[in-house]
Amino acid sequence: MSDSAAAVLHTIRSRRVVRSYAPEPVPEDALAEILEAARWALNGGNRRILAFRTVTDGQQIRLLKSVSPGMLGMPPAVILICIDLDKAAKQGVQLDKHHTTWIDVGTALMNMSLAAHVLGLGSCPVTSFSRAGLRAVLELPDQLQPELILQVGHPARTSS
């Protein structure tokens, strides 16, 4: 096996969710790399109807946590994965029939989690949240339907 193959497989095997974060901010270039990793994810029909929002404001993240029972940590950054309903409609995607859109959420999540991991960051997805609460906190436009929150941060010394 080549060194690069071994490195990729090691990355896949060594990633674990991190739910406890150090308070230090995540560098902007690291967040940009994580978003870039999402852009390269496998994508049903190459439709690309997901949209991403990055939040680094501490007050907004505290409010997000208050409407997200599945958010156990207090990360310095979160990346929200949304379905852009306008883009979906333009491409004739019916969410109740075309389940590939939710698989797209998963492929983006996986790429972002692995990118965070190789950048020395921890991450943890959250799907347990109030959509209405999250919309209100982030003042999301109507066409963005939130599907998943990815918490991102440097692992605390006692990460789980």
Q: Which residues bind ligand FMN (CB under 6 A)?
A: 16-17, 19, 70, 72, 124-128
Q: Which is nearer to ligand FMN, 49 or 109 (CB)?
A: 109
Q: How far apart are CA 140 and CA 9, in angstroms?
A: 37
- Give the orientation angle of helix 100-118 with respect to helix 28-39, to 10 degrees: 140
Provide the minimum distance between the beta carbon of 124 and ligand FMN in the complex, in angstroms, as a whole number: 5
Positive or negative CA dihedral for 38, 41, 46, 47? negative
Q: How far is the CB of 113 from ligand FMN (least distance, A)?
A: 8
Nearest-approach distance from CB 147 to ligand FMN, in angstroms: 9
CA pair distance 119, 58, nearest whole angstrom: 22
Task: Give 66 or 128: the residue with its C-beta nearer to ligand FMN.
Answer: 128
- What DSSP element (H or E) covers 147? strand 144-153
**Shortest Cβ 64–ligand FMN spacing (Å):** 12
CB nearer to ligand FMN: pick between 16 and 48: 16
What DSSP state is assigned to residue 76? S
C-alpha 120/C-alpha 114 separation (Å) is 10
Closer Cβ to ligand FMN, 32 or 132, answer by number: 132
Taking CB atoms, the residue at the shortest distance from ligand FMN is 70
